Chains A and B, each alone.
Chain A
Amino acid sequence: MTLAVFFGCTFIAFGPALGLCLFTVVRDPLRIIILIAGAFFWLVSLLLSSLVWFIAVKASDPGDEPLQKGLLIFGVLFSVLLQEAFRFLYYKLLRKAIEGLVALSEDGCSPISIQQMAYVAGLGFGLMSGAFSMINLLADALGPGTVGIHGDSQLYFLTSAFMTMVMIFLHTFWGILFFHGCETQRWWEMVAVIFTHLIVSGSTFWNPLYVGSLVPSYLLMFATAAWAYVLSGGCTRNLLRSLQGQQSETSPQPGS
C-alpha cells in the first residue's frame, strides 16, 4: 500500500513508544540496559510458547479447522501465561540487580528504584511485542496492494497499528502493576494483570469485528493507566496542579 501507509502505520504503532523512549529512557544508560534486557525476556517467552504451538500444529491434522482454531486459542493462552511468568522472572532478576547496584554505589542508595525499573521493563516488553506484531505487516504495507482480495477487511493495517499501540501501553502499565504487586506482596494485583492480559489477547479473536477487540482493549488500557498512575504516586490533585502550571506544595525533593 505504498509509503504513505507504511509511515502512517509505523507512526501510529510506535509513535507513543518512541516518545517515551526518547524522553525517559535514552538519557540513562541503566534504563537502556533494563529496556533491552526486558525486550529479550519477552522474546524468549515468545520463542518458547511459539515452539509449543508449532509442535502442536505439526503433530495435528492441518485440515481439521476446529482443531486448528482450538490449538490457536490454546497457543495464545499458553503464551500469555508464559509472558507473565517471564515478567516474574525478570522481576526476580532486577531485585537481585538492585542489591548489586546498592553494593556498588557510593551512598548506599540504588541509582534507580524498583518502580522505575518496573516502568522500563514494561516498556521493553511492550516494544518487543509491538515489533513482532507489526514489522511483518509493515514490510507488506510497502508493496502496491492492500488486504482484501480474499474478502478480509481493508482496514487491516490501520487496526493492527492501533492494536499494537495499545499493547505497548498495556505492557508498560502491566509492568508497573505487576512489580508493585510483587514488592508489596499483593498477589491480587498480579492476578489482575494476568487476567486483563488474557482478556485483551482473547478479544483479538473477535477480529475482523474490530470493535470487539479495539474498544475493550482501549478501555482496559485507560483503566490500567489510571491504576498505574495512582500506584506511582499520583492523584487527581497533582494532575490538576500540573495542568494549571503550579509548583507542588512540597519542594521537589524525594519524600522521606
Chain B
Amino acid sequence: MGAGERGGRGSRGAETLFRALLFCVLGCGFCWGNSVERKIYIPLNKTAPCVRLLNATHQIGCQSSMNGDTGVIHVVEKDQDLKWVLTDGPHPPYMVLLEGELFTRELMLQLKGSSRISGLAVAISKPSPAQGFSPGLKCPNDGFEYPLCAMQLFAHMHAVTNTVTCMRRSSLQTAFSLNPEEVCDALSDYNVWSTLKPINTSSKIGPMDEVIIVATRIDSHSFFWNVAPGAESAVASFVTHLAAAEALHKVADVQMLPRNIMFTFFQGETFDYIGSSRMVYDMKMDKFPIRLDNIHSFLELSQVALRNSSVLWVHTDPVSRRNESIQPQVKTLVEALINSSMGANVTLQEVDQSQPLPPSSFQRFLRAKSIPGVVLADHRTSFQNRYYQSMYDTAENILMKYPEGLSPEETLDYVTDTAKSLAEVATVVARALYQLAGGTGNTSAIQADPRTSIIKQDLKGLLGDELPQHYIAVTTLVNTTQLVQYVLANLTGTVVNFTKEECLNPEKTPNPEKEMYVYTWAQGSRDPNSTSRVPFCVQSTVHLTKAASPAFELKQWGSTEYSTWTESRWKDIRARIFLVASKELEIITLVVGIAILILSLLATYFINAKAHVLFSSSGDGGAVAY
C-alpha cells in the first residue's frame, strides 16, 4: 500500500465525518429548547403585555427590568388577599395574579410603590377561557412552603421620559450610527376615504364643488398591547358607516347629485386624533384633493350601538353655532336627519344646545374652520359604554347574542338584534345624506341591509381564530384598515371586466377614467362545490391617505397642537412560570461545594507531597510507578 492510497482513504473518511457532523448540527437546530430548560420552565403563550407609550410630556404604560422581573405567584381573589402580598407574606417579592374584575384603579393605587411586588398579571375571566395553566395543579405546597411557584415577566422598554427625548435619541442613532438602534416609533397608519361620485385625485376639485363629509373612527385601545376589541367605541360605528355607504351607492341617481359625499374612516383617533388632524393639515397645505372651503357639512357617527329605548342623540357645537351663517345650516342638517328618521325605529333627539361636543374627529375640523356639523351618539351626557377603551369592549358589550347551537357558518347568516339596530341607524344616515346632497327623489327606498352589518362583524372572525384588535400600532396597514378598505371597495365598487394585468397596472391601459378610480384585484369567494376561486377586478373610489401626526412631519416632537404619541420599542416580551427553591437549599449547595473544593485541594496536595511514600513499593519492578 502506497502512501497516496492511504492518504486517499483517510481524506474520504474525513469527508464523511464532516458530513455527519453537519447533519448532526442541522438536525439539532430543529429541536426546541434544551431538555433541562424544559424541565424547569413553562412558557406562557397567550399573553398580552402592557407596553410603554409616550407623548410630548409624559410616558404611560409598563416597564420591566432588563432581565425580567421574578416573583412568587400569589392569586388575589378578594381584597383580603392583598394583605398577604403587602404585609404578611414571608417570601417577597410577589407576582400578583388578579382576576379581571379586580383590576381597578383603587387596587392598583394600593399596590403602587410597594417593594414587595415585582409584577402583576391579569387573568381575563371572560370571554376567552383561562390560559390553560392553573397554579393549583402544578404548584405544590399551596404557596406556604418551598418550593414555591414563581413567574418571570420580560417586558423591557427602550424608550423613556417622553416623545421629545426618545425621538431625539432615535434621530441621533439614525444620523450617526452604522447600526442604528431606534428606541421608539410614532403611531401611524392610514385613513380610508371614498367619494360617492368619483373625483380626480391628482388635482384639486373646483372651488364651487361641495362635499359632505361622513366620518367615523376605526381604532380603539386598552391597557394591554394590541388588545383593543373596541366593539362599541369603534366597530359598531364603522360598520354602520359601511352599511350607509352601501345603501347610498345603490340609489339610481347618485351620480347626478349636486353635492358629493365623502365617506371617511379615520385611524388613530384614540391617540389625540392622529388621522383627522393629519387630514385637516393636508387640506390646509393643499395636499389633499378637497380643501376645507369645499366642505359643506360634517356628519360624524360616534358610539351608536347601545341606544337606550331607540333614542339617538344629536350633538352640535355651540361655539360655531354662534356664527350666523353656520346656525341655519346646522338646523337644516338636523331637520334632514329628523325627517329621515320617520318610519325607522330610531328616535332622534337634540341635546341641549349649550352642551359641547363629545370627543370626536369633528373637533379637529372645527379648529381649522367653522363648519356646520353634527355628531350622532347613543348617549346624551355620560357614555352608555361601560367599557370604553377597555379589553372588555367586546361583542357582548354591544349585546350581540346568537341563539344556542348555531354552527359558525350559520352564525354568519344569522341577523342579530344588534345588526338590525345598526342597520336602522345606517338607513337614517343614508337618507339624510341623500337629502343633504341635494337629492330630490323619494328616500324611503333607501334601506341599509342588516346583513351587511352582520357580515362585517363576522368577517372579522374569518381573519383568524382570535377576535381582531383595532389598535393603531406602528406597523403600517393593520388588519382593521385593510378590512375597511376592502369591504368598502366591495360594497361600493363595481366589478369591471379587466384582466389581472390590466387591473394591477391600470396606468398601462388607455382609459380616461382611470385617474378617478382605484382598481383592486379580488381573488373571489370559494365556490361551495369546487375548490377554485373566481377572481375579479373591482373598480372603486376607495383611497388611502397617510394617518401620521403632523408633529412628526414638522419634527415638532413637543407639539401641543398635534398628537405626539409614540410607542416604545422592545426586544423581548414573554412570561414563564417555574419553581423556586428555598434560600437555605441554595446556600447549602454552595457551602458543600466550597467544602468539597477545599477538601480535595488539600487532599491532592497531601497525596502529591507524600507520593514517594505512598507509591513506593515497586512490586512490579521496572519503570517508575508514580
Which A residues are closer than 8 A to B by beta carbons?
1-2, 4-5, 7-12, 15-16, 18-20, 22-24, 47, 50-51, 54, 58, 110, 113-116, 119, 136-137, 139-140, 143-150, 152, 154, 156-158, 161, 165, 229, 232-235, 237-239, 241-242, 246-248, 250, 252, 254-256
Contact = CB atoms under 8 A, between A and B. Distances in A.
Contact of A5 (B579, B589, B601, B616): B589
A114 B624 CA distance: 9
A58 B30 CA distance: 12
**Interface of A, helix, strand, loop or mixed by DSSP:** helix
A15 B586 contact: no
Given A4-B587, A22-B604, A148-B579, A115 B593 contact: no
A136 B587 CA distance: 21
B590 A4 contact: yes
A246 to B, nearest CB: 8
A244 B601 CA distance: 20
B40 interface: yes
B150 A145 contact: yes
B150 A8 contact: no
Interface residues of B, number: 58
Interface in B589-626: 589-594, 596-597, 599-601, 603-605, 608, 610, 612-621, 623-626
Given A4-B590, A23-B608, A154-B579, A146 B147 contact: yes
A238 B618 contact: no
Given A7-B593, A147-B36, 19 more contacts: A1-B581, A5-B581, A8-B594, A9-B593, A15-B599, A19-B605, A22-B601, A47-B21, A51-B20, A144-B578, A145-B40, A146-B147, A146-B578, A148-B579, A149-B577, A235-B617, A238-B616, A239-B614, A255-B624
Contacts of A140: 34, 36-37, 40
10 contacts: A1-B581, A9-B589, A22-B601, A54-B27, A113-B623, A115-B626, A143-B41, A144-B578, A148-B579, A235-B617
Given A5-B586, A11-B593, A116-B626, A234 B41 contact: no
B614 A145 contact: no
Contacts of A152: 39
A143 B461 CA distance: 40
A113 B147 CA distance: 52
Contact of A233 (B27, B587, B620): B620
Most chain B CB atoms below 10 A, which of A23, A152, A252:
A23
B589 A8 contact: yes
A232 B613 CA distance: 12
Contact of B617 (A116, A234, A254): A234
Given A54-B27, A149-B579, A252 B612 contact: yes
A144 B624 contact: no
Which 8 A-B pairs have CB atoms at the shortest separation, nearest pair first? A145-B578, A255-B618, A11-B593, A233-B625, A8-B589, A8-B593, A15-B597, A19-B604
A149 B587 contact: no
Contact of B624 (A2, A7, A16, A113): A113
B252 interface: no
Contacts of A145: 40-41, 150, 152, 576, 578-580
A82 B610 CA distance: 36
Given A113-B624, A248-B613, A12 B586 contact: no
A35 B528 CA distance: 72
Given A11-B597, A148-B147, A242-B613, A158 B620 contact: no
Contacts of B20: 51
A174 to B, nearest CB: 17
B290 interface: no
B112 interface: no
Contact of A15 (B579, B580, B596, B624): B596
A214 to B, nearest CB: 14
Contact of A241 (B36, B41, B603, B613): B613
A150 B38 CA distance: 9
Most chain B CB atoms below 10 A, which of A115, A145, A241, A250:
A145
A8 B626 CA distance: 32
A113 B618 CA distance: 14
A16 B596 contact: yes
Interface string B568-592: 0000000011111100011111111
A145 B150 CA distance: 8
A143 B40 contact: yes
A37 to B, nearest CB: 18
B182 to A, nearest CB: 30
A255 B410 CA distance: 98
A229 B578 CA distance: 46
B24 interface: yes
Interface string B541-583: 0000000000000000000000000000000000011111100
Most chain B CB atoms below 10 A, which of A24, A235, A242, A248:
A242
B138 interface: yes
B513 to A, nearest CB: 61
A20 B616 CA distance: 20
A8 B149 contact: no
A157 B21 CA distance: 30
Contacts of B581: 1, 5, 146, 154
B579 A146 contact: yes
A17 B336 CA distance: 93
Contacts of B580: 1, 144-146
Contacts of B427: none
A19 B601 contact: yes
B147 A250 contact: no
A110 B579 CA distance: 56
Contacts of A1: 580-581, 586
Given A140-B40, A233-B616, A255 B621 contact: yes
A95 B36 CA distance: 41
Nearest to A98: B623
Contacts of B24: 47, 50-51, 54
A158 B589 contact: yes
